Structure 1
Amino acid sequence: MIPEKVQDAIRKAREKGHIVCLTGAGISAESGIPTFRGKGGLWEKYDPQTYAYPEGLLLLLRQNPKKLADFVTDFYSVLLDAKPNPAHISLAALEKKGILESVITQNIDDLHTLSGSQRVRELHGNAFRIRCAFCRKARELGREEMRAFLSLLKISPVSRTRILKILSRFFPRCSCGSRFRIDIVLFGEPLPEEALTGALRSLEHCSLFLVIGSSLEIYPAASLPLYAKERGATLVEINDEPSALSHIFDYRIKGQASMVMPEILKILEA
């Protein structure tokens, strides 16, 4: 599937230094999570102008708590059913062998961590983690906890008072006095500084930058390939469809990441 010249370029780039990977929604789509904007995605059913902004979610809580409960249930039901695919597993194997420095991801589904990756820089947060809205202290919100949370949301009748009681149970007050919230970057919110700074630092001496399943339309993540290229990295894009920045890549592999990444693992192991 991978042309010989691309295989040679991957091997040569690997000899010069470390590898970094950026993943987008496409890699998780192969695990059964539709892209937000794609066919069957969440934004077909729910208007992002309401459901993707903190102000919109707060307004729903006050005015239509049933719609908020339905949205949260639909959103998490898909995530809870998803499992890492061979692309996630191949990246974890590359990290374990000391070949891959880190994964930078735009995804919030926690599939990289589930697959065994240790160094994951989550630009848009993690749907299975909560953080304090003030001091940013964070802790994991396990899948079983989330299932229990959803089961309570599904019990009728759904009212604002009842939802607030459920939220206070699963999103308690922090020791600083503020409230925990889900650790997802909503529209209009800044990216976590630690994750973005770490991503940029990892690209400083990167020799090979793999970009998997990203449309490269959302900034600042979309600026990372150019940042790496300016520092001498070889860029390889793995995607079913061209991205907004396909023209800046040195090589492009058309195909599913779950098929391509096991091949790249074999190339880099040799």
Structure 2
Amino acid sequence: MKMVENRSNKCIIGVLVLLLFSLRLFSQTNLSGKPGILYTPSALELKDGDFQFGYNYNPIHYGLIGAKKNPEQVWYARLTLLPRFEISISLLQILNSKYRDVSQIQGIGDRSMDFRYLILRETAKRPSLTVIMTAPFIIHGPMLTHVLVATKNFTLTDSWKLETSIGYGSPYYIYRAVSNNSNSTFLKGFVLQKKSTNNFKNHYLEGPFGGVILHFRKKAGLMAEYDSKHLNIGGYVTFFKKWTLQAGLLNGDQVMFGTSLNTNLLKAPTFLKKK
């Protein structure tokens, strides 16, 4: 029976992998898994049913929880529920370093949920416009995102395209001023606070930001951005139009990197279409 179960599990995994890589999609993502560059998001329009999951490594000097104490890793998943609306969840975990051992003090990590809504679609004369907000019922939020961002694409040649984005991150946010151990409901305890006065004081996406991506046939590209604090550069490579590897140099100092897989839950795979 175990042999049959193992074979069955392998077949299921094989089919899932085949389905994943037979669907053609592309989306470059930022640290928290939003369409964007390295740290900054974009207003790129996504298709209904787009699903993505991935991983990013954030180096020690730019840790959002404890800068210069611990590097971090971010796991994320994102789903476009409607043509203009998407929801994403992320898990930020701090990693051990010679400066601080967190193996005995860290739980599962800092969870976050973000909502992204496309206000305006891109046209020949205007950019797309998107608002992104972290859910207000989050208690601890090192990756708080409250931004308005615009994106415009320019076709340079048949092979080269330029994606440009500019935005602004609010210095204020709404959060729940309660502890994880309290018995209050998630609809209580909301307060308005300035990011510069919270526990993290990392100023993540606070103030003006912007960047560009030079795409080569959506297979590779070069990136540059100002994330409201630093100038960052990087690049990406996409395989099978599904699997993206990316890396960047933050402030000319340390390297961040990540990987992601994309699919669409509403589209039939190409090998089924051929039949």
TM-score (norm 1): 0.26
Structure in which a larger fraction of residues adopt helix: 1
TM-score (norm 2): 0.26
Structure in which a larger fraction of residues adopt strand: 2
Bigger RCO of structures 1 and 2 (CA < 8 A, at least 6 apart): 1
